[in-house]
């Protein structure tokens, strides 16, 4: 049985695009339910969308930024996520951040959160590692299913552009080792979980973390 005090208060999940992060989060949810641990899932995108719909101060400005296809400034996105975490920290056993550190400065930010002690528990990151070809093929299929414009051939929604997909993946390939090193340095790195596309093996690997 997992001891609540030993389980990380905040779990973030990162990895290559198409590596299976959302699949792992669903499995993590099942494990938490099995051990009767309450949890909440927070994603930056959801926090921003909820704030826009709230019609609170500056919500229209943020809506305009989104409508223009631009990224919400880091300090604003962080404020939304931090606000949601602080609201939930005393209500649930575990908070899952969907979309873990994607840059070195994200890892530094997590370290500041950890040192603050506001959350009453550890912060740890699980890295999902999958073969390059598996991730590439998943992004091809996801682009077809979701008609993603950012990974489609210009003017043809849902028609994957292999060059765009490779560029997207190249960014993580260049950054992953630096991010991993920074997380380890800050004692924020829990473990890598290997995903070869076989769901049973993925779940077994996840179970081993908390056995």
Q: Is the pLDDT of residue 92 over 60?
A: yes
Inter-residue contact 189 to 127 (CB < 8 Å): yes
Q: Greater confidence, 76 or 182?
A: 182
Q: What is the mean pLDDT of residues 161-184?
A: 91
Strands lying side by side in the sheet with 39-43 = 39-43, 94-98, 10-15, 123-129, 189-194
Q: Is the pLDDT of residue 5 over 50?
A: no
In degrees to the nearest 10, what's the CA dihedral of 81, 85, 87, 91? Answer: 150
pLDDT band at 95 (very low <50, low <70, confident <90, very high): very high
Residue 133 has a pLDDT of 95
Beta-sheet pairing, 123-129 with 189-194: parallel
Work out the percent of the chain whose per-residue pLDDT is above 90: 29
Q: Which residues is 194 bridged to in the sheet? A: 129
Q: What is the mean pLDDT of residues 93-114?
A: 87
What is the Cα–Cα distance from 60 to 67, expressed in whole angstroms? 10
Task: Look up the CATH superfamily of 10-38+93-206.
Answer: P-loop containing nucleotide triphosphate hydrolases (3.40.50.300)
pTM for this model (two decimals): 0.81
Q: Is the pLDDT of residue 98 over 50?
A: yes
What is the Cα–Cα distance from 135 to 115, expressed in whole angstroms? 34
Question: Reduced to 3 states, what is the DSSP secondary structure of residue 193?
Answer: strand
The domain spans of the chain are: 10-38+93-206
Q: Is the pLDDT of residue 70 over 70?
A: no
């Amino acid at each position: 049985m997992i001891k609540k005090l030993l389980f990380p208060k905040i779990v973030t999940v990162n990895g290559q695009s198409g590596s299976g992060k959302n699949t792992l989060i669903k499995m993590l949810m099942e494990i938490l339910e099995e051990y009767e641990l309450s949890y909440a899932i927070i994603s930056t995108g959801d926090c921003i969308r909820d704030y826009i719909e709230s019609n609170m101060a500056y919500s229209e400005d943020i809506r305009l930024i989104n409508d223009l296809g631009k990224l919400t400034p880091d300090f604003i996105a962080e404020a939304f996520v931090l606000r949601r975490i602080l609201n939930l920290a005393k209500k649930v056993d575990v908070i899952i951040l969907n979309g873990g550190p994607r840059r070195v400065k994200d890892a530094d930010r997590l370290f500041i959160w950890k040192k603050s002690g506001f959350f009453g528990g550890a912060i740890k990151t699980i890295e999902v590692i999958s073969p390059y070809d598996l991730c590439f093929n998943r992004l091809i299929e996801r682009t077809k299913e979701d008609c993603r414009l950012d990974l489609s051939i210009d003017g043809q929604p849902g028609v994957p552009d292999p060059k765009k997909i490779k560029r997207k993946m190249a960014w993580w390939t260049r950054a992953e080792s630096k991010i991993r090193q920074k997380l380890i340095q800050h004692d924020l790195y829990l473990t890598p979980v290997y995903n070869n596309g076989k769901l049973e093996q993925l779940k077994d690997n996840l179970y081993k973390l908390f056995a």
